[in-house]
Structure 1
Amino acid sequence: MHFFTGGCGDMLAFTKAGFLSLYAANHHSASAATARGNFPGLFVKEADLQSVDMRSVPPAQVLVASPICTEASPNSGRTAPRNPVELDENGRPKPGPDWPQTRITMWEPVRYAEVHRPMAYVGENVPAFGNSPLFKAWLHVWDALGYIPTLASVNAAHLKVEGMRPLPQSRDRLVWCFLRQDIGAANGLPDLRPTCDAICPTCGPVEGVQHWKKNPGFPVGEYGRRSRQYYYVCPNRRCGAPLEPITRGIGDVIDPMVRGDRFGDGYFKGKQRVTRTPYEQATRDRVAIGLERYRGKPFIVTLRNHCDASSLDDPIGTLSAQGGGHHYLASPTADLSVDECEYRPLTILEKARCQGFPDDHEFAGKEPDQRLQVGNAVPVNVAFWLAQRVMAVLPH
């Protein structure tokens, strides 16, 4: 059972792991069409789940649903509104900051579990979701329903997954499996301890294990960050040396046949594509840094605060929910001129590869719809790892 299907990254992964998908739901027309197109015969419900009576939804052994909860997380740059909505003279709300009610989606899996009692509920979100004020209250609700939570924090660029390579995108995720108590008592809980391939300077090639600087009993956080940060260490007890995960570079998914434009010509602003606008000085500076740093080799320019240029041998940063419009490929000319540099955004296909989608996976809708589905997708390798671990504790 799949709620909030989006680009179908989790459905693709769970199918690969041996699950049979029965039902998918999403309010977004293009996302619903993507599910129908890639999974013929699947029943797809196009609707806001808040309006769906869960008694009308069929039962399933596993619910896969990653709620949308971006507004109150640091990843979105917004916090909860503190002021009441102002009304005009007719009693209608005045225009103000956008605050979609997507936090409600975290309660839709609860409604489903209350009616159908699946063996497991599986999902993922940004790590900030786990540190939001409602998260622990949410866990208490699942406990009251008779489910045991298992949490893990993983990064798609590091995760060792049987049958899939790490992704060329550094993407921190909080993942979970809420297992029904009777299933857990009979078969144990899923092993959600992530590992990575690494080279220990003393022991050689090893599977690095996760080490938390503090509060290991609540493994919610991001790789290498200041708050609740974790890193990897050598698994040999006599060693325990800190390790750097072996990663995969973005160059693996770049299509060399796609050409860019001359940087000095600027870019088209607006849909009419009539007048070109020069790039801002901050963007020129990033390109100049890359030209100096990589001396004639193509590189990635990332248009985010505290980012500049990075090598094609490294993963890119997280693709945003808006479709990853922060990453550009710069290809220098022989004279290393900023203006003569060939410059283009990553294509939707390249971004989809960064999320682990195969090239034959088709995204429905117009280009903005496709960007949204790719940017919002569950990384396929993360979902596949999660599906394998959950499958191992379910009765067969």
Structure 2
Amino acid sequence: MYTSGHLFSGGWGDGRGFMNAGFAPRFGANHNPAAVATARANVPGIYVREAPIQTIDMRTLPSVDVLAGSPICREATPAGGNAKARVQEEFDVGDGKTAKPSRWEQTRMTAWEPIRYADVHGPLAYVGENVPGFFTNNPRMFDAWLRVWDALGPHGYHPTIACVNSAHISVQTPEGVLGPVPQYRDRLVWVMVRKDLNAVPDLRPRPEVICPSCGPVKGIQHWPGIKRGRRIGAYLRRMPASGRPSAAKQSYYYVCPTPRCHLRVEPVMRGIGSVLDLGVRGHRFGDGRQDRNEFEAYSPAARAQVEKGHRLFGGEPFIVTRRNHGRPTPLDEPIGTVTAQGGAHHYLARPAASMDVDECEYRPLKKVENARTQGFPGHHVFAGGESGQKLLVGDAVPVTVATWTAQKTLRILPA
């Protein structure tokens, strides 16, 4: 049995995925005490290290066959790119005084920590993932990072890179099929394979699709806006306003693989309704925000979304997404990305018979619902308090994506 090591963030999603694929996790390291406790709770006896990964002497960690770890794109740029950067605001001005209070919160390791580990231990492969912006925000730095991997150690590492969306990935495990999770989550995934293995994994996603002409087939990615260079970007969920797919730069969609067909096709996906507990009741929208000590009405933008959902879905329950350009969506569609805020952007709205907006039942998705949206099984344990667990869920690698990547890696390892 091959071993894995995890320089992880979140709730042990990558560890769960590697276990699904048949790996034996040997260690986990993280700065977050709740994340470390989560790894220990799900893998009794595993070696853990609670410390900022940047400070760990990699010689003190066990050697493993495959290293897994997902670095942050840039510590001062939160996911999504729209929130305020987490820059350090506290400076030592002498005599024990500081200039400003600090709001710095470390989120995960940098991209150089896996290189430090590989330089010491030389694992057969390194597996990681991030948002597509890990490349698109600074292509020159990304290419420089790959050149370091190419030159590392006595053999060097060969990269295989792909873009996937968690709503499209399903995997077969000994326990059965893990279907796509009901969450649109665009990821850039990679596997760095030691060159002396003379093999690379096939990371081309081939989701189940139903072509109107050819029936059930396996879709293939099509990148209309990229003629040459790296094909890295997000899934094109809707056609651009121009009506021309080529207007969508750095985006892909799926087409039928049948020669002379190649129609655009949509992957078979799961709706968020499949993981919701509809027995959990909400509160009246008119009663305002429930996280305030005094009454505070929901914002006009939130109200507008609820009103729009009433018009669109005719009294059926729907999801309101309070983020970016969120829109009300039906329960038979996946939701948008569950973030480190633990899904605080997603609300379940259940219209009253009167269709009065103030009487609409409204609540945020629960932690267990978001965990299912990330592909965690019911027996997975999350350590820490409620707010900390929400962060673990949102920061985790989707279990299906981790399982898929680990399985692809396992197939090219020596027998």
TM-score tier after normalising by the smaller chain length: over 0.9
Match of 1:289 in 2: 308
Contact residue 90 and residue 102 of structure 2 kept, 8 A: no
Match of 1:391 in 2: 410
Comparing 94-103 with 291-300, which one deviates more in the overlay?
94-103
Aligned match for 2:191, one of 160, 177, 188: 177
Structure 1 residues 315-366: Cα deviation after superposition (integer angstroms, max 9, x where no partner): 0001112212100001111111101111000000000000000112121111
SS of 1:76's equivalent in the other structure is coil
SS of 1:277's equivalent in the other structure is coil
Query: Could you state the TM-score of these two structures normalised by the residue count of structure 1?
Result: 0.92
SS of 2:163's equivalent in the other structure is strand
2: CA distance between counterparts of 1:131 and 1:92?
40
Task: Say yes or no: does 1:137 pair with 2:156.
Answer: no
Task: Say yes or no: does 1:255 pair with 2:277.
Answer: yes
SS of 2:219's equivalent in the other structure is strand
Cα gap change, 1:369 to 1:80, in 2 (>3 Å): closer
Map of 1:12-31 to 2, 5 A cutoff? Answer: 12-31=16-35
Map of 1:37-186 to 2, 5 A cutoff? Answer: 37-70=41-74, 71-72=76-77, 75-77=80-82, 94-95=99-100, 105-133=110-138, 134-145=141-152, 146-162=156-172, 163-183=177-197, 185=198
Contact residue 323 and residue 375 of structure 1 kept, 8 A: yes
2: CA distance between counterparts of 1:308 and 1:239?
33
Cα gap change, 1:277 to 1:78, in 2 (>3 Å): closer
CA RMSD of aligned residues (A): 2.4
Contact residue 5 and residue 32 of structure 1 kept, 8 A: no
2: CA distance between counterparts of 1:83 and 1:320?
22
How many residue pairs get aligned? The number is: 390
1: CA distance between counterparts of 2:365 and 2:89?
41
Aligned match for 1:227, one of 239, 246, 249: 249
2: CA distance between counterparts of 1:100 and 1:106?
17
2: CA distance between counterparts of 1:102 and 1:43?
21
Contact residue 160 and residue 195 of structure 1 kept, 8 A: no
2: CA distance between counterparts of 1:79 and 1:149?
32
Match of 2:391 in 1: 372
1: CA distance between counterparts of 2:78 and 2:284?
37
Contact residue 10 and residue 380 of structure 1 kept, 8 A: yes
2: CA distance between counterparts of 1:323 and 1:149?
31
2:125 partner amino acid? A
Task: Say yes or no: does 1:206 pair with 2:213.
Answer: no
2: CA distance between counterparts of 1:2 and 1:384?
14
Comparing 316-325 with 146-155, which one deviates more in the overlay?
316-325
Cα gap change, 1:102 to 1:336, in 2 (>3 Å): closer
Contact residue 5 and residue 35 of structure 1 kept, 8 A: no
Identity %: 52
- Stretches of structure 1 lacking an aligned partner (at least 5 in a row): none
Aligned match for 1:196, one of 191, 203, 207: 207
Structure 1 residues 192-251: Cα deviation after superposition (integer angstroms, max 9, x where no partner): 000111111211111101112215652311011733111101111221111112211000
2: CA distance between counterparts of 1:83 and 1:50?
17
Cα gap change, 1:304 to 1:384, in 2 (>3 Å): same
SS of 1:12's equivalent in the other structure is helix
Cα gap change, 1:211 to 1:382, in 2 (>3 Å): same
2: CA distance between counterparts of 1:99 and 1:216?
39
Shift in Å, 1:132: 3.2
